[in-house]
Structure 1
């Protein structure tokens, strides 16, 4: 069962990647399925349901804060209200970040967000250089789903760090914690 859910999640993430690259749009129905699959996986892995609920609340609060800061920055810099979903950031980008918030622990969510943004920009510039495609819209959800595939697969089959728990990240951030 666990392996089937993992495979379905990786397939869903791959579909998000391909749809975002090919059509610059992702079917909205993928995101609730992704969120349900991720929370199911988290619970099947034996994670505490109440802690999972707290982590989801923290992750979504972080996302709301980031989007509010972005909106505030645009309001101040352009002297008018800017709806960030109209030309700056797609709904797929936001829904993807909501969906992964159902699996990742709070620090891993922030870590993934902070690391994925510059990596997406590097991947996009590299893609444009290789293909000669000079599109102005970055497929953020698609490229983040690619990075999330690597993050998940690395956790499941190589590093075994458990990205649904903050311990591995805290261990590297705070060397004084006893192992």
Structure 2
């Protein structure tokens, strides 16, 4: 449902070409990230590993793929980097101050919360549209 809703928003803003470009480019980025993570852990453990067996959840991948339709590449990259950074801060905070050494990190859950906050702020302000590339660069003044 999330994929359909975000795709409809993107289609309304940029048309079919913009939607397909976002899905293809951002999905390629996600696939590249999954391969890089898999390669890293495989080299670290000196054998090929399936990252979905304990390192990365399938729900995390599905969420990242669902939001590919909404963002332009640069907006997706910015959201991805900022959300990963914020997740790291939250996990470190929880582990230090609440002594929670949980091995599992609910990445998709935290990223979904950040996405909801971002969408609400974007809707309230009507600015910083990361779904359309030209608007993204306009607001960054690049």
Moved >6 Å (runs of 4+) = none
User: Gaps (5+ residues) in structure 1?
Assistant: 1-32, 175-179
Paired residue for 2:113? 146
Distance across 2 between alignment mates of 1:126 and 1:108: 27
The one of 83, 94, 111 aligned to 2:61 = 94
Answer yes or no: is the 8 Å Cα contact 2:38–2:50 preserved in 1: yes
Answer yes or no: is the 8 Å Cα contact 1:155–1:163 preserved in 2: no
1:1-179 aligned within 5 A = 33-44=1-12, 46-129=13-96, 131-171=98-138, 172=140, 174=142
Equivalences, count: 141
TM (norm. structure 2) is: 0.89
Question: Deviations for 1:56-91, whole angstroms, at most 9, x for unmatched residues?
Answer: 100000000111111111222221011000100100
Distance across 2 between alignment mates of 1:64 and 1:115: 19
TM (norm. structure 1) is: 0.72
Q: Which moved more, 1:120-129 or 1:92-101?
A: 120-129
Answer yes or no: is the 8 Å Cα contact 1:104–1:164 preserved in 2: yes
Distance across 2 between alignment mates of 1:74 and 1:128: 23
User: Gaps (5+ residues) in structure 2?
Assistant: none
